[in-house]
Homo-oligomer: A and B are copies of this chain.
């Protein structure tokens, strides 16, 4: 198919390629696009395969010089570069007009060379030799130095070389030239190298090429030239002309040549330290015209563009229009500006932004222009970059913090005992562990830059050194930088870019909240987490892990006494001492989150996680408990497990030592009553049971929690309300969700553990081979990062359906790491979930992803 470009054409990129479609859109908006015809992919294929050249309109063929541009469906897929000035011949030189005689002869000579190499596949070097030979013989450096006569002589030499090599004289007929060019361009698309290159960029096997045959705007003569301009700043997205211009030039390629281009605006010219006049100074009317063109294009097509343009005798022609280059950060500003100008809707603006890119707005980053000295690489566990002195223990981190001396905590791996140290450090680097290892999870929760699994580094804790594969050694106090965004550890302190929650960011978040129809909660364990979450405008807390509360200095000893108690009586005595501490935690949490739901998970980890590991700590504990240290060691040993992930934890603790959950329930309820009474606003806590695999577990806990609630009601005289729910983390809980739903107000899917169990894969051990697995495409994505829709996702859907079937009012949530992953959020929205919950620092991502999912599915 061949179509003449005009203001009414509706051109599909699938038929005529992206360039043609965009040119047509610009023409339709009335922008000054030179006359052209568009050859469809099938037409071009016919040229390539059978030499079937279509008949083109006479007025186009004989109205002046032409260019041939390739128009693939996706510009990334390549395609031969444009061939300009088709139709130049002796007659053109004779009637050179504003181009001038010398200009016309130059065009002609360059066209012969281009035609000879592209269409007839002659060796470009032969022409170069001829050219430089003649310059040398004449004794000049540049073609400008030749006389008219000498220029004609060179042209004739080119023609003669052509004839000698090809066997026929150079074609003077413009139609013959065009046909030759069309065939060469069509065939070039099918060259094996071209094909391999575009397949590598994701093009389909049968990707076709369309062609644009366009009238030339010459760019030669007075007030003439060519340039490229975009209407926004690539880095910030701010509306601002940026670009380059070259007088007396015909296209972008000319800018690679010997002459230096000037900047479009005087401001940019000054910033670049150039002294030549800018386009703004040379041709102010052109600037005005370009601004106008940009506005029309933005309003008409709904994007900020980058234009390739030619100025001919002061008149602007648009040769090509591409979306403006932009960083992830700039795209946010551009989308907001377009929406505020009315060029696109707010929903369109929301859909334009990749949620993951919001990370850039939230964390300090290494300056992209810096060239840091990377000494170790690992997994991108928690984004952002931080610089500090190396410390090897949580205690040292705390000392550093107290001296206001920023530090980076370096560990083989972290355990709950390191949490205090992590709070004190600016960043964390571990040698072992995967994306959902303890260090990674906690760091994300804290918004702390973190690299895990940097397996190439060797840690010698005895000598307090890090040694790299190539033998470099780092010691305590050495300054390093951890870049969690890129998974790198660097020497010293490379230049950083600070985060900035700009107006555009806040605007997008506001629009996202209006658009989304699925809740976003935060996983927050402590009052400070909760404050961060509240600042990020969450809809509540979806997961408060109570165990972290027990690691604080004044509590861990009581906790340990509870664990090592000989009898239920002793255990209850220790729990009685923990009760007021837990209650005060919850009071603070409820006060911070007033008016919003807070879901509290009952104790989950195996008890041995709370016990000390070092002999000194064992000794301390033995003293505190007035017990021989050998007994403490033996008890701790007796609690060890082969597979702690699958051991005595979660509700298994609650069922076999009911007094623990009873204490927690009491602390929650008493806190809820106290805050309800003091604030006058009713707190309805949500209590969540972890690691359920059988319905009877829920029944047993429910009985005891209900009893505690009744006691608290009686004791306080307050009509306490609460919700009891189940955390679905085992495949069996998902399969039996129907039963569970009958005892539950909500089901919250703990997709970290559910993924581990569905795959039979420990997140802490997966790091060892995850990279291989992704490289071999065994897993398309790390399933701990993006929800595995085919396996875990099926269990989620099954559970959601079974649960809702048996309990119409069942609330469904997701509280794994996946709550901050856009694809997973989309899945939850489609599956009809009520909310997702993620670490506070991922809340903005989740809010935007939730908005996008809502826009796409609610339509």
Chain B nearest CB from A773 CB (Å) reads 7
State whether A646 touches B648 (Cβ < 8 A).
no
Q: Closest B-chain residue to A431, C-beta based?
A: B638
Q: Which of A471-525 contact B (CB under 8 A)?
A: none
Tell me what chain A mostly uses at the interface: helix, strand, loop, or mixed. helix
Q: Closest B-chain residue to A771, C-beta based?
A: B656
Residues of B within 8 A of A756 (CB): 646
Does A772 lie at the interface of the complex (its beta carbon under 8 Å from any beta carbon of B)?
yes
Given contacts A773-B655, A776-B655, contact A732 B693 (CB under 8 A): no
Does A97 lie at the interface of the complex (its beta carbon under 8 Å from any beta carbon of B)?
no
Chain B nearest CB from A230 CB (Å) reads 43
Partner of A731, one of B647, B729, B731: B731
State whether B696 touches A788 (Cβ < 8 A).
no
State whether B735 touches A757 (Cβ < 8 A).
no
Partner of A735, one of B648, B753, B765, B790: B790
Given contacts A642-B764, A765-B642, contact A758 B732 (CB under 8 A): yes
Q: Closest B-chain residue to A432, C-beta based?
A: B638
Interface size class of chain A, counting residues whose CB lies under 8 Å from the partner chain: 35 or more
State whether A730 touches B753 (Cβ < 8 A).
no
Chain B nearest CB from A538 CB (Å) reads 28
State whether A729 touches B760 (Cβ < 8 A).
yes
Does A96 lie at the interface of the complex (its beta carbon under 8 Å from any beta carbon of B)?
no
Chain B nearest CB from A23 CB (Å) reads 43
Copy number in this complex? 2
Partner of A700, one of B642, B729, B758, B776: B776
Does A795 lie at the interface of the complex (its beta carbon under 8 Å from any beta carbon of B)?
yes
Does A164 lie at the interface of the complex (its beta carbon under 8 Å from any beta carbon of B)?
no
The CA-CA distance from A791 to B736 in the complex, in Å, is: 7
Does A132 lie at the interface of the complex (its beta carbon under 8 Å from any beta carbon of B)?
no
State whether A795 touches B735 (Cβ < 8 A).
yes
Q: Closest B-chain residue to A790, C-beta based?
A: B736
Partner of A647, one of B696, B765, B791: B765
Does A801 lie at the interface of the complex (its beta carbon under 8 Å from any beta carbon of B)?
no
Q: Closest B-chain residue to A455, C-beta based?
A: B638
The CA-CA distance from A647 to B756 in the complex, in Å, is: 10
Residues of B within 8 A of A788 (CB): 732
State whether B656 touches A735 (Cβ < 8 A).
no
Partner of A643, one of B765, B776, B778: B765
State whether A759 touches B791 (Cβ < 8 A).
no
Residues of B within 8 A of A794 (CB): 735
State whether B757 touches A758 (Cβ < 8 A).
yes
Residues of B within 8 A of A691 (CB): 760
Chain B nearest CB from A612 CB (Å) reads 18
Q: Which of A696-746 contact B (CB under 8 A)?
A: 696-697, 700, 729-732, 735-736
Contact with B along A632-649 (1 / 0, CB 8 A): 000000000111111110
The CA-CA distance from A848 to B95 in the complex, in Å, is: 105
Top 5 closest pairs, chain A to chain B, by CB: A646-B762, A643-B762, A730-B760, A732-B791, A647-B765
A interface residues (Cβ-Cβ under 8 A, vs B): 641-648, 652, 655-656, 691, 693-694, 696-697, 700, 729-732, 735-736, 753, 756-762, 764-765, 768-769, 772-773, 776-779, 788, 790-792, 794-795
